[in-house]
Amino acid sequence: MVKSKVKVAIIGTGFVGSSIAFEMAIKGLVSEMVLIDVNKAKAFGEAMDINHGLSFVGQMSIYSGDYQDCKDCDCIIITAGAGRKPGETRLDLAKKNTSIIKDITKNVIKYYNQGVILVVSNPLDIITYMFRKWSSLPASKVFGSGTVLDSSRFRYLLSQKFNMDVRNVHGYIIGEHGDSQIPVWSAVNVAGMRLGEYCSIYNNPLCNTDKDEIAKEVKEAGATIIKNKGATYYAIAMTVNRIVEAIIKNQNSILTVSSVINGLYGINDVALSMPCIINSNGIDRVLEITLDDLELKELKTSAEKIKEVLKQVEDI
């Protein structure tokens, strides 16, 4: 069942948060959208700017507000946090943003009474884990955008390699939204065929060097964009809107979101990305897809790398 009235809150109106709001307005996904930021003037200005274009997309209520406006939301999107500065380590960023998110969690939960919490802030898996821990909400209700964008980048690069519509190429990036992410080559599907089958039939081989280059380009895509334009926000805005659409339209879509895993492949007590069925209840089910031996080993290594950072921030 699709709700006729949908309310969404976006916490953080920087490049990412404001781009998500703009994309959401263009798509007409919600009937009510509240923008929340410590910089209240920024949130007010973003809401006003989008409102002035509503005559071209349709009526909806868009306004700036505060944490009490999280009440009755179908989805609360967390984008707040600091960006990584030159010379700053991943752990430095984790400590800084975990501290910021701890305060946000406390304020959101004070008014939370329903809906899904969607984390977009980085480091994504760390923030997702800590938000779920501090909120005490079920893992199905608190999850991160994970490797949905990484998987989209993966599909795009494969589509370029095969000169094919990206919508007919399917593949997953799993594990960390970061350096230890894993491309699941064994599950890539091109035009309804396994990757190896397609390459063999159409004489379009994909050698190990090609695979390594694609995996590297996916992993470094964010850094490349930041180097050239200063920040990434368009593709993640489209990514978040796709996830929100799956939630509010109860679509049972399979998306590689990040959630706290317990028992999957023998992995416990860590947030990482796996294909999940997403609907109006949040995560309906985490799918334990078949991995080859190398992919499984790399997934367990990725989990350990995330846990190493978690140990450093859990007492914040």
For 63, counting Cβ atoms within 10 Å of its Cβ (0-12 exposed, 13-18 middle, 19+ buried), the class is: middle
Exposure letters 225-263 (e unless 16+ CB within 10 A, then b): eeeeeeebbebbbbbbbbbbebbbbebebbbbbbbbbee
177 flagged as catalytic: yes
Q: Which of 29, 28, 176, 175 lies closest to 94, judged by CA? A: 176
What DSSP designation does 175 have? B
CB 289 within 8 A of CB 295: no
Rounded CA gap, 194 and 190, in Å?
A: 6
Write the DSSP symbol of residue 83.
P
Is 203 exposed, middle or buried (CB count within 10 Å of its CB: 0-12, 13-18, 19+)? Answer: exposed
**Cis amide bond preceding 86, omega within 30:** no
CA distance 151 to 170: 9
Token code pair at residue 146:
């994970």
Written as one letter, the residue type at 125 is D
- CA of 90: how far to CAs of 78, 80, 95, 250, 306, in Å? 19, 17, 9, 35, 11
CA–centroid distance for 287 within its chain: 17
Catalytic residue among 96, 155, 170, 177: 177
3-state DSSP assignment of residue 66: coil
Q: Helices H, strands E: what count in the chain?
A: 9, 16
Q: Which residues are catalytic?
A: 177
